[in-house]
Structure 1
Protein backbone atom coordinates (compact mmCIF):
# COMPACT_ATOMS: atom_id res chain seq x y z
CA UNK A 1 0.00 0.00 0.00
CA UNK A 2 1.15 3.52 -0.79
CA UNK A 3 0.84 6.18 1.88
CA UNK A 4 -0.70 9.49 0.76
CA UNK A 5 -0.38 12.83 2.53
CA UNK A 6 -2.86 15.65 1.98
CA UNK A 7 -2.89 19.32 3.03
CA UNK A 8 -5.58 22.00 2.94
CA UNK A 9 -5.96 24.28 -0.07
CA UNK A 10 -6.80 27.45 1.87
CA UNK A 11 -8.09 29.35 -1.18
CA UNK A 12 -10.82 26.73 -1.73
CA UNK A 13 -11.71 25.93 1.89
CA UNK A 14 -13.80 27.49 4.64
CA UNK A 15 -13.97 26.54 8.32
CA UNK A 16 -17.38 27.91 9.27
CA UNK A 17 -19.87 27.91 12.13
CA UNK A 18 -23.31 29.29 13.04
CA UNK A 19 -24.85 30.17 16.39
CA UNK A 20 -28.27 31.54 17.35
CA UNK A 21 -28.32 35.23 18.24
CA UNK A 22 -31.17 36.51 20.43
CA UNK A 23 -32.72 33.04 20.09
CA UNK A 24 -34.14 33.59 16.58
CA UNK A 25 -31.48 34.33 13.95
CA UNK A 26 -28.14 32.75 13.11
CA UNK A 27 -24.82 34.56 13.11
CA UNK A 28 -22.19 32.97 10.88
CA UNK A 29 -18.47 33.03 11.34
CA UNK A 30 -15.30 31.37 10.15
CA UNK A 31 -11.65 30.94 10.97
CA UNK A 32 -9.48 32.48 8.25
CA UNK A 33 -6.32 30.51 9.05
CA UNK A 34 -6.28 26.77 9.57
CA UNK A 35 -4.16 23.71 8.93
CA UNK A 36 -5.30 20.25 7.94
CA UNK A 37 -3.16 17.21 7.32
CA UNK A 38 -4.54 13.86 6.36
CA UNK A 39 -2.57 10.70 5.79
CA UNK A 40 -4.16 7.62 4.28
CA UNK A 41 -3.39 4.42 2.39
CA UNK A 42 -3.90 4.37 -1.39
CA UNK A 43 -6.17 7.44 -1.23
CA UNK A 44 -8.75 5.40 0.73
CA UNK A 45 -10.57 7.92 2.91
CA UNK A 46 -11.64 5.40 5.57
CA UNK A 47 -7.94 4.79 6.40
CA UNK A 48 -7.34 8.49 7.11
CA UNK A 49 -5.43 9.92 10.04
CA UNK A 50 -6.76 13.47 10.41
CA UNK A 51 -5.20 16.45 12.20
CA UNK A 52 -6.78 19.91 12.12
CA UNK A 53 -6.07 23.19 13.85
CA UNK A 54 -7.41 26.72 13.51
CA UNK A 55 -5.82 30.00 14.54
CA UNK A 56 -8.54 31.34 16.84
CA UNK A 57 -7.18 34.89 16.46
CA UNK A 58 -8.47 34.79 12.86
CA UNK A 59 -12.13 34.32 13.88
CA UNK A 60 -14.24 36.39 11.49
CA UNK A 61 -17.97 37.11 11.88
CA UNK A 62 -17.89 40.21 9.67
CA UNK A 63 -18.10 42.45 12.74
CA UNK A 64 -14.88 43.74 14.35
CA UNK A 65 -16.36 44.40 17.80
CA UNK A 66 -17.92 40.93 17.98
CA UNK A 67 -14.69 39.32 16.71
CA UNK A 68 -12.68 41.11 19.41
CA UNK A 69 -15.18 39.93 22.04
CA UNK A 70 -14.83 36.35 20.75
CA UNK A 71 -11.03 36.63 21.06
CA UNK A 72 -11.32 37.88 24.67
CA UNK A 73 -11.31 35.85 27.89
CA UNK A 74 -15.15 35.81 27.74
CA UNK A 75 -14.88 33.30 24.89
CA UNK A 76 -11.75 31.87 23.20
CA UNK A 77 -9.12 33.70 25.32
CA UNK A 78 -6.63 33.75 22.44
CA UNK A 79 -3.83 35.07 24.66
CA UNK A 80 -3.79 31.75 26.54
CA UNK A 81 -5.28 29.45 23.89
CA UNK A 82 -4.29 30.60 20.38
CA UNK A 83 -5.46 27.44 18.58
CA UNK A 84 -8.31 25.00 18.59
CA UNK A 85 -7.65 21.50 17.30
CA UNK A 86 -9.25 18.26 16.17
CA UNK A 87 -7.51 14.88 16.04
CA UNK A 88 -9.43 12.13 14.30
CA UNK A 89 -9.70 8.79 16.08
CA UNK A 90 -11.73 6.89 13.44
CA UNK A 91 -13.34 7.23 10.02
CA UNK A 92 -16.35 5.03 9.34
CA UNK A 93 -18.05 4.67 5.95
CA UNK A 94 -21.83 5.04 6.33
CA UNK A 95 -22.71 4.69 2.64
CA UNK A 96 -21.33 5.80 -0.73
CA UNK A 97 -19.61 9.14 -0.22
CA UNK A 98 -20.86 9.58 3.37
CA UNK A 99 -18.64 9.02 6.40
CA UNK A 100 -18.60 9.60 10.13
CA UNK A 101 -15.39 11.04 11.54
CA UNK A 102 -14.95 10.64 15.28
CA UNK A 103 -12.25 12.53 17.09
CA UNK A 104 -11.13 14.74 19.92
CA UNK A 105 -11.92 18.45 19.65
CA UNK A 106 -9.93 20.80 21.88
CA UNK A 107 -11.09 24.35 22.52
CA UNK A 108 -9.29 26.32 25.18
CA UNK A 109 -8.14 23.67 27.69
CA UNK A 110 -11.09 21.31 27.20
CA UNK A 111 -11.01 18.19 25.00
CA UNK A 112 -14.21 16.32 24.15
CA UNK A 113 -15.02 13.51 21.73
CA UNK A 114 -17.22 14.58 18.81
CA UNK A 115 -18.73 12.91 15.74
CA UNK A 116 -18.86 14.74 12.43
CA UNK A 117 -20.83 13.78 9.34
CA UNK A 118 -18.64 14.05 6.27
CA UNK A 119 -19.35 13.94 2.57
CA UNK A 120 -16.23 12.84 0.71
CA UNK A 121 -16.17 13.79 -2.98
CA UNK A 122 -13.40 11.41 -3.98
CA UNK A 123 -10.16 12.20 -5.80
CA UNK A 124 -9.70 14.14 -9.04
CA UNK A 125 -6.97 15.97 -10.94
CA UNK A 126 -7.30 19.72 -11.50
CA UNK A 127 -6.31 21.42 -14.81
CA UNK A 128 -2.78 22.04 -13.45
CA UNK A 129 -2.10 18.39 -12.64
CA UNK A 130 -2.70 18.60 -8.87
CA UNK A 131 -4.51 15.69 -7.22
CA UNK A 132 -7.38 17.05 -5.12
CA UNK A 133 -10.10 15.76 -2.83
CA UNK A 134 -13.05 17.50 -1.21
CA UNK A 135 -14.79 17.22 2.16
CA UNK A 136 -18.04 18.76 3.39
CA UNK A 137 -18.19 18.38 7.17
CA UNK A 138 -21.13 19.14 9.45
CA UNK A 139 -21.69 18.68 13.14
CA UNK A 140 -23.01 20.26 16.31
CA UNK A 141 -21.31 21.02 19.60
CA UNK A 142 -22.41 22.74 22.78
CA UNK A 143 -20.11 25.70 23.36
CA UNK A 144 -20.55 25.44 27.15
CA UNK A 145 -18.94 21.97 27.05
CA UNK A 146 -15.73 23.76 26.02
CA UNK A 147 -15.79 26.53 28.61
CA UNK A 148 -17.35 29.14 26.28
CA UNK A 149 -19.99 30.14 28.80
CA UNK A 150 -20.40 33.92 28.48
CA UNK A 151 -23.95 35.09 27.87
CA UNK A 152 -26.37 37.91 28.52
CA UNK A 153 -30.03 37.60 29.52
CA UNK A 154 -32.53 39.41 27.31
CA UNK A 155 -35.23 41.67 28.76
CA UNK A 156 -37.83 39.54 26.99
CA UNK A 157 -36.45 36.33 28.50
CA UNK A 158 -33.98 33.99 26.91
CA UNK A 159 -30.34 34.65 26.16
CA UNK A 160 -28.26 36.60 23.65
CA UNK A 161 -26.05 33.73 22.42
CA UNK A 162 -27.25 30.17 21.81
CA UNK A 163 -25.41 27.18 23.25
CA UNK A 164 -25.47 24.99 20.13
CA UNK A 165 -22.80 25.67 17.53
CA UNK A 166 -23.41 24.26 14.06
CA UNK A 167 -20.20 23.43 12.23
CA UNK A 168 -20.13 23.89 8.46
CA UNK A 169 -16.74 23.07 6.99
CA UNK A 170 -15.76 22.89 3.32
CA UNK A 171 -12.24 21.61 2.71
CA UNK A 172 -10.39 21.08 -0.53
CA UNK A 173 -7.27 18.98 -0.09
CA UNK A 174 -4.12 18.83 -2.23
CA UNK A 175 -2.10 15.63 -2.38
CA UNK A 176 1.46 16.39 -1.31
Structure 2
Protein backbone atom coordinates (compact mmCIF):
# COMPACT_ATOMS: atom_id res chain seq x y z
CA UNK A 1 0.00 0.00 0.00
CA UNK A 2 2.81 2.42 0.90
CA UNK A 3 4.42 1.73 -2.48
CA UNK A 4 1.18 2.59 -4.29
CA UNK A 5 0.83 5.88 -2.39
CA UNK A 6 4.49 6.76 -3.00
CA UNK A 7 4.13 5.93 -6.71
CA UNK A 8 1.02 8.12 -6.94
CA UNK A 9 2.75 11.03 -5.21
CA UNK A 10 5.84 10.70 -7.41
CA UNK A 11 3.65 10.48 -10.51
CA UNK A 12 1.79 13.65 -9.49
CA UNK A 13 5.07 15.43 -8.71
CA UNK A 14 6.55 14.53 -12.08
CA UNK A 15 3.35 15.68 -13.80
CA UNK A 16 3.57 19.07 -12.04
CA UNK A 17 7.29 19.45 -12.71
CA UNK A 18 6.82 18.76 -16.43
CA UNK A 19 5.55 22.31 -16.85
CA UNK A 20 1.82 21.67 -16.82
CA UNK A 21 0.51 25.23 -16.55
CA UNK A 22 -2.50 25.69 -14.32
CA UNK A 23 -5.04 28.37 -15.16
CA UNK A 24 -7.14 29.90 -12.39
CA UNK A 25 -10.20 32.02 -13.26
CA UNK A 26 -11.82 34.54 -10.94
CA UNK A 27 -15.08 33.57 -9.23
CA UNK A 28 -17.05 36.81 -9.63
CA UNK A 29 -19.40 35.85 -6.81
CA UNK A 30 -16.41 36.05 -4.48
CA UNK A 31 -14.35 38.89 -5.91
CA UNK A 32 -14.04 42.61 -5.33
CA UNK A 33 -11.70 45.21 -6.83
CA UNK A 34 -11.94 48.35 -4.76
CA UNK A 35 -10.26 51.57 -3.80
CA UNK A 36 -10.17 54.11 -0.99
CA UNK A 37 -9.72 57.85 -1.53
CA UNK A 38 -9.43 60.44 1.21
CA UNK A 39 -11.90 63.31 0.78
CA UNK A 40 -11.13 66.83 2.06
CA UNK A 41 -8.21 65.34 4.02
CA UNK A 42 -10.64 64.14 6.73
CA UNK A 43 -12.67 61.13 5.59
CA UNK A 44 -12.26 58.05 3.44
CA UNK A 45 -14.54 57.15 0.55
CA UNK A 46 -14.60 53.52 -0.59
CA UNK A 47 -15.57 52.37 -4.03
CA UNK A 48 -15.38 49.26 -6.15
CA UNK A 49 -15.83 48.01 -9.69
CA UNK A 50 -18.74 45.61 -10.20
CA UNK A 51 -17.60 43.80 -13.35
CA UNK A 52 -14.17 42.18 -13.21
CA UNK A 53 -12.44 39.53 -15.27
CA UNK A 54 -9.21 38.02 -13.99
CA UNK A 55 -6.98 35.01 -14.40
CA UNK A 56 -3.76 33.59 -13.05
CA UNK A 57 -1.51 31.15 -14.91
CA UNK A 58 1.24 29.28 -13.09
CA UNK A 59 3.43 26.22 -13.53
CA UNK A 60 4.40 26.07 -9.85
CA UNK A 61 2.02 25.16 -7.03
CA UNK A 62 3.47 27.93 -4.81
CA UNK A 63 2.59 30.64 -7.41
CA UNK A 64 6.18 31.96 -7.57
CA UNK A 65 6.02 32.03 -11.36
CA UNK A 66 2.43 33.27 -11.57
CA UNK A 67 1.23 35.59 -14.30
CA UNK A 68 -1.85 37.53 -13.23
CA UNK A 69 -4.17 39.73 -15.26
CA UNK A 70 -7.37 41.57 -14.44
CA UNK A 71 -9.69 43.99 -16.18
CA UNK A 72 -12.41 46.06 -14.52
CA UNK A 73 -15.33 47.84 -16.18
CA UNK A 74 -15.04 51.52 -15.20
CA UNK A 75 -18.64 52.28 -16.19
CA UNK A 76 -19.77 50.16 -13.24
CA UNK A 77 -17.80 51.99 -10.55
CA UNK A 78 -19.80 52.19 -7.33
CA UNK A 79 -19.35 54.20 -4.14
CA UNK A 80 -22.95 53.87 -3.00
CA UNK A 81 -23.81 57.45 -4.06
CA UNK A 82 -25.19 57.72 -7.61
CA UNK A 83 -24.22 61.38 -8.07
CA UNK A 84 -20.61 60.68 -7.04
CA UNK A 85 -20.50 57.54 -9.21
CA UNK A 86 -21.63 59.56 -12.24
CA UNK A 87 -18.98 62.19 -11.49
CA UNK A 88 -16.29 59.48 -11.28
CA UNK A 89 -17.38 58.17 -14.71
CA UNK A 90 -17.17 61.68 -16.21
CA UNK A 91 -14.15 63.24 -17.98
CA UNK A 92 -13.24 64.86 -14.62
CA UNK A 93 -12.05 61.44 -13.38
CA UNK A 94 -12.13 58.06 -15.18
CA UNK A 95 -13.79 59.28 -18.40
CA UNK A 96 -15.56 55.94 -18.82
CA UNK A 97 -16.88 56.83 -22.29
CA UNK A 98 -13.34 57.18 -23.67
CA UNK A 99 -11.53 54.72 -21.34
CA UNK A 100 -14.10 52.02 -20.45
CA UNK A 101 -11.72 49.69 -18.59
CA UNK A 102 -8.77 49.63 -16.27
CA UNK A 103 -6.40 46.69 -16.32
CA UNK A 104 -3.39 45.13 -14.65
CA UNK A 105 -0.86 42.65 -16.02
CA UNK A 106 1.83 41.26 -13.73
CA UNK A 107 5.50 41.17 -14.66
CA UNK A 108 6.78 39.37 -11.54
CA UNK A 109 5.41 37.45 -8.56
CA UNK A 110 8.08 37.25 -5.83
CA UNK A 111 7.65 35.35 -2.58
CA UNK A 112 8.44 37.55 0.44
CA UNK A 113 7.25 35.29 3.28
CA UNK A 114 4.82 32.54 4.14
CA UNK A 115 1.92 32.98 1.69
CA UNK A 116 3.07 36.55 0.97
CA UNK A 117 4.23 37.97 -2.34
CA UNK A 118 5.34 41.19 -3.97
CA UNK A 119 3.56 41.53 -7.29
CA UNK A 120 4.94 43.94 -9.87
CA UNK A 121 3.14 44.78 -13.06
CA UNK A 122 1.64 47.36 -15.36
CA UNK A 123 -1.55 49.16 -14.37
CA UNK A 124 -3.51 50.91 -17.12
CA UNK A 125 -6.11 53.54 -16.23
CA UNK A 126 -7.42 56.52 -18.15
CA UNK A 127 -5.30 55.49 -21.14
CA UNK A 128 -2.04 55.64 -19.15
CA UNK A 129 0.10 52.61 -18.28
CA UNK A 130 2.48 52.78 -15.31
CA UNK A 131 4.44 50.16 -13.36
CA UNK A 132 3.07 49.46 -9.86
CA UNK A 133 4.05 47.23 -6.96
CA UNK A 134 1.35 45.44 -4.97
CA UNK A 135 1.44 43.23 -1.90
CA UNK A 136 -0.40 39.91 -2.04
CA UNK A 137 -1.42 37.25 0.42
CA UNK A 138 -2.39 33.82 -0.91
CA UNK A 139 -4.91 31.72 0.98
CA UNK A 140 -5.22 28.08 0.06
CA UNK A 141 -5.62 26.39 -2.28
CA UNK A 142 -8.41 24.22 -0.93
CA UNK A 143 -11.11 22.13 -2.54
CA UNK A 144 -14.27 24.19 -2.55
CA UNK A 145 -17.05 22.32 -0.72
CA UNK A 146 -19.60 23.73 -3.18
CA UNK A 147 -17.92 23.34 -6.56
CA UNK A 148 -15.56 20.49 -5.60
CA UNK A 149 -12.74 22.26 -7.47
CA UNK A 150 -9.39 23.59 -6.28
CA UNK A 151 -9.92 27.20 -5.17
CA UNK A 152 -7.41 29.80 -3.99
CA UNK A 153 -7.91 33.24 -2.46
CA UNK A 154 -5.83 36.34 -3.09
CA UNK A 155 -5.85 39.47 -0.94
CA UNK A 156 -3.93 42.23 -2.74
CA UNK A 157 -3.28 45.86 -1.86
CA UNK A 158 -1.17 48.78 -2.95
CA UNK A 159 -1.11 52.52 -3.39
CA UNK A 160 -1.09 54.53 -6.61
CA UNK A 161 -0.97 58.24 -7.34
CA UNK A 162 -4.08 59.20 -9.30
CA UNK A 163 -2.23 62.10 -10.95
CA UNK A 164 0.23 59.66 -12.55
CA UNK A 165 -2.75 58.42 -14.55
CA UNK A 166 -4.32 61.84 -15.21
CA UNK A 167 -7.33 61.06 -13.05
CA UNK A 168 -8.98 64.08 -11.43
CA UNK A 169 -6.07 66.31 -12.42
CA UNK A 170 -7.99 69.55 -11.82
CA UNK A 171 -8.83 68.61 -8.23
CA UNK A 172 -6.22 69.52 -5.59
CA UNK A 173 -5.05 67.07 -2.95
CA UNK A 174 -7.06 69.03 -0.36
CA UNK A 175 -10.22 67.91 -2.22
CA UNK A 176 -9.20 64.35 -3.16
CA UNK A 177 -5.99 62.72 -1.93
CA UNK A 178 -3.44 62.01 -4.63
CA UNK A 179 -2.60 58.63 -3.09
CA UNK A 180 -5.34 56.08 -3.68
CA UNK A 181 -5.34 52.68 -1.96
CA UNK A 182 -6.23 49.71 -4.18
CA UNK A 183 -7.65 46.51 -2.70
CA UNK A 184 -8.44 43.25 -4.42
CA UNK A 185 -10.04 40.30 -2.66
CA UNK A 186 -10.82 37.40 -4.92
CA UNK A 187 -11.27 33.66 -5.14
CA UNK A 188 -9.90 31.85 -8.19
CA UNK A 189 -11.03 28.43 -9.38
CA UNK A 190 -8.59 26.07 -11.09
CA UNK A 191 -9.69 25.25 -14.62
CA UNK A 192 -9.72 21.67 -15.91
Is TM > 0.5 for Structure 1 vs Structure 2? yes
Q: Which runs of 5+ in 2 are unaligned?
A: 1-18
State the partner residue of 1:174: 189
Aligned pair 1:6/2:24, yes or no?
Answer: yes
Per the normalisation by structure 2, the TM-score is 0.86
- Identify the structure with the greater helix proportion: 2
Q: Relative contact order (alpha carbons < 8 A, sep ≥ 6): 1 or 2 greater? A: 1
Q: Secondary structure at the match of 1:161?
A: coil
**Conserved in 2, the CA contact under 8 Å of 1:46 and 1:92?**
yes
From 75, 100, 108, the equivalent of 2:118 is 100
CA contact (8 A) 1:151 1:160 kept: no
Q: CA deviation at 1:26?
A: 0.2
Number of the residue aligned with 2:141: 123
Greater Rg over alpha carbons, structure: 2
State how 1:15-54 maps to structure 2 within 5 Å: 15-54=33-72
Point out the structure with the larger strand share. 1
Where do 1:124-163 residues align within 5 Å? 124-128=142-146, 129-152=148-171, 159-163=174-178
What residue ranges of structure 1 are gaps of 5+ in the alignment?
A: none
Q: CA RMSD in A?
A: 1.3
| Number of equivalent positions | 172
